[in-house]
Amino acid sequence: MTETAPTPATAAKPSKPLGMRKNGKQWHEPKKAFRPTAGLSSYEKRVKERAAMEQMKAKEKEMKAEKEEMRQQRIEAIREKRAKKEERERYEKMAEKMHRKRVERLKRKEKRNKLLNS
């Protein structure tokens, strides 16, 4: 009578059913023995994981910055468009009251002032 080693499939799964739990909480996993060294990993492995995490965080930060920059560009484009529209409407309103050539002179004068003040 020789004993054969149990196959991995039968070793992982208990052959007999465990039955009802004493406290009645059948939906919980059955408890396992406490093994304090089970989750430990080598120093090299932890260093590699840390480096990978740092790399991932840097990439995420870069992507977020890029996205924010695109958002700011869109906002700036909208602001410029609105400012141009307001200025155009203001000049049209002035053109109703004044002569066209005088409005053009005022435009040129305001542009010179803007360049000097900025």
Q: Which of 61, 114, 65 is nearest to 87 (CA)?
A: 114
Computed over every residue of the chain, the mean pLDDT equals 85
pTM: 0.50
Across 28-39, average pLDDT: 87
Please state, in angstroms and rounded to a whole number, the distance separating the CA atoms of residues 101 and 107: 10
State yes or no: pLDDT of 30 exceeds 60: yes
State yes or no: pLDDT of 75 exceeds 60: yes
Across 59-81, average pLDDT: 98
